Structure 1
């Protein structure tokens, strides 16, 4: 009978290693074999095999003890290449872990390498000049999403049991939807961030967990966010906003899958804020934040090696005035107050507006016949949560033409547990993540 850790959830795998029934060295060896055999380009910058097996022979204590993991290539990892998907950092090897890598190592995980990401996380399609394109395990001609596309593809293909990601615009939710896994953007501030820049004025990005089950998702959230406390399940009122009153174009099949998955769980909800206002505030604060981060690096040589999306953000960011930023911040504050007063506990809408597109494209230029005027307009549906830093989760809802989709659940600030409980309820009713991508059983098993 075929046996492999890859068919096991992370929580059960960890229990098996703690009890002695499963040898961490075998788990690490099989992980490396599966990564080597994969054609997805999801896990990169692999460390030396013998070194990793030696670490597995003496795992450190912790909640993830002995579990092989790969850290997203936007997060610093001591002794492991961290390129941010940019050629200027192709040989960059940090000497100190960032907060995410430090948390994983501290919990006993064995860091085998990195998961691929687009250049500085820009755009929800994982390709870059250092490692190339990550492919979708459900259809290798399609994008795996991004910017946590490497993590999503690795989870779906059973290369990893757990994965970290990060989410500025929708980088945990979009690739989760496109790879048939769970991904969660926690309440902003719950997961510690690197002590750099202004943590108050423009807190747009946060790290978070990705997994194949809600229990595993909560396990990793507890590691990344030491302050996370599981709250008891409670009856939740869920409001379905769909395409936000027609503001967000949706590819055929997206809304139907999400509505079917929410059958009996959600009632209709009118859009609680004008989509153009949210978009204006978001694009202003995003461009300002990106420019402030990139400004020290922006030499002629760096610019020449950067993709058009980066140039677009820089050109916008460098021309913004104090009034522009102040007005955008005021809109954000208004939306945050309104979110607190909406008459539901959870807002539901699709986690992506289209299914995975051709991996040879840079981004989709139209959805449902509507032209996309920026490189990220096609994922506008994720920004209501991102703008105000409230928790949001992507839950798998099935397939259309063989391609996955997820529904996005947005909760109130600090009510992260509500979303995990709801995701657990939906997973029990229909465990979509138990399905495996084509060819998964043809990969090597230890």
Structure 2
């Protein structure tokens, strides 16, 4: 199956088998085991894995084999998961369509001619095709949520610090986060329980017992106040096919006991906040690398870094001021509502040969970022956001619903998402792998990690 979708790009079968045997031994011996004990997991190719090639989708790091795991991988392995490979990403996770010059394009298991999204596109496609049980990812401009929507799986962008990052060149930054993906909300919550929690190496890590995320999730939303906005209060264009797919699903929340009202916070300033702080961070992390070897990087990534290079102190200062005002408006919004429902993605999965959609509902999309506003406006608020399977277009393409809750209210998002998931069962619809000729995994052509 991987030969068609190209989701898992580096395999370590010998190491995985050895770790699986050790997992069996520990279980048979009655030794303590973690919440992910024995689960096969493929990790995102932007997350350092000791002894396993980690390329970041870049020719500059095509043979990079880290000596140590980063924090999220430490926790996944520590919880008992068996890491068997790496999932494909766009170059340095830049963009929400997964392709690069090292491994090529990741394709959507529901239609291989379409994008799987990104930057956690390999993870989402691997989940949808049944190649991994749960998956780690990261999200600055929608990289956990967009691919979840495109591949009919679940992706959670947590609040900054819920899943602490280490090591990182920007330890105080809050725009980019790491988080979990799964085929169900409960699986996603289980992985969150393993990767969340405080760590002294992260200055923004959130305290609290992460095991709370493994508790049973709600199926009744009685008394909850939920807002629905099909276009973020008119702030973004949304394709008619996405609107038509989601509209019939919103009454489900009333059937679950919630009250629904069409409303949206004021996302004013979110565009400038996200674009400025993203460009600043890209230049801080990648500027010197690109300057040394510009020929190795795609044009859209170089453009984003150039934008960061041109920023002045007053530019960043203004963005931070707008950031604070945005947070306060959204904080007050969630005093009136328990959750906000939004389209995850403004478009259906687009042709895999395109870098990004160039038009939405008649509105021109000038850059590789423009079409992602429905997710990156939310990133700028600092709120957790969950994408859950919600519907299919007439041609059989997945459409996700984004559930946004107050800052640090991940449990509320998980409860709302789980109740909706159980009521609709849209996530049960898996791709027809037999029709695609994918009835048996083909791992023979997968690249092995260098010794």
Do both share a fold (TM > 0.5)?
yes
1:258 corresponds to which of 246, 250, 257: 246
> What residue is the counterpart of 2:14 in the other structure?
50
How far has the Cα of 1:429 moved from its partner?
0.6
> Is the 1:396–1:433 Cα contact (8 Å) retained in structure 2?
yes
> Is the 1:240–1:266 Cα contact (8 Å) retained in structure 2?
no
117-126 or 226-235, larger mean C-alpha shift? 226-235
SS in 2 for 1:304: helix
> What residue is the counterpart of 1:237 in the other structure?
225
How far has the Cα of 1:360 moved from its partner?
0.5
> Is the 1:157–1:440 Cα contact (8 Å) retained in structure 2?
no
SS in 2 for 1:250: coil
The answer as to 2:261 corresponding to 1:268 is: yes
> Is the 1:45–1:114 Cα contact (8 Å) retained in structure 2?
yes
How far has the Cα of 1:142 moved from its partner?
0.3
Equivalent residues in 2 for 1:183-332 (5 A)?
Answer: 183-200=155-172, 202-226=173-197, 227-228=209-210, 229-230=212-213, 235-263=223-251, 264=254, 265=258, 267-275=260-268, 277-301=269-293, 303-332=294-323
**Residues 426-446 of structure 1: CA deviation (Å, up to 9, x unaligned):** 111111121121225851289
How far has the Cα of 1:54 moved from its partner?
2.4
Equivalent residues in 2 for 1:32-431 (5 A)?
Answer: 35=2, 38-47=3-12, 49-59=13-23, 61-200=33-172, 202-226=173-197, 227-228=209-210, 229-230=212-213, 235-263=223-251, 264=254, 265=258, 267-275=260-268, 277-301=269-293, 303-342=294-333, 343-400=336-393, 401-431=395-425
How far has the Cα of 1:266 moved from its partner?
5.7
TM-score normalised by L of structure 1: 0.88
How far has the Cα of 1:51 moved from its partner?
3.4
> Is the 1:261–1:426 Cα contact (8 Å) retained in structure 2?
no
How far has the Cα of 1:178 moved from its partner?
0.4
Instruction: Provide the rounded CA distance (Å) in 2 between the counterparts of 1:298 and 1:40.
Output: 29
Instruction: Provide the rounded CA distance (Å) in 2 between the counterparts of 1:62 and 1:174.
Output: 30
Residues 393 and 440 from structure 1, CA distance in 2 versus in 1: closer, same or farther, beyond 3 angstroms? farther
Runs of 5+ unmatched residues, structure 1 = 1-33
How far has the Cα of 1:57 moved from its partner?
1.3
How far has the Cα of 1:414 moved from its partner?
1.5
**Residues 291-345 of structure 1: CA deviation (Å, up to 9, x unaligned):** 11112323342x1111111111111101101110010111111111111111211
> Is the 2:233–2:266 Cα contact (8 Å) retained in structure 1?
no
How far has the Cα of 1:179 moved from its partner?
0.3
SS in 1 for 2:380: helix
> Is the 1:74–1:120 Cα contact (8 Å) retained in structure 2?
yes
> Is the 1:258–1:349 Cα contact (8 Å) retained in structure 2?
no
> Is the 1:243–1:250 Cα contact (8 Å) retained in structure 2?
yes
SS in 1 for 2:240: coil
How far has the Cα of 1:259 moved from its partner?
2.4
133-142 or 292-301, larger mean C-alpha shift? 292-301
> Is the 2:71–2:167 Cα contact (8 Å) retained in structure 1?
no
Alignment root-mean-square deviation, CA: 1.8
How far has the Cα of 1:150 moved from its partner?
0.3
SS in 2 for 1:388: coil
How far has the Cα of 1:274 moved from its partner?
4.1
Instruction: Provide the rounded CA distance (Å) in 2 between the counterparts of 1:168 and 1:83.
Output: 19
> Is the 1:142–1:356 Cα contact (8 Å) retained in structure 2?
yes
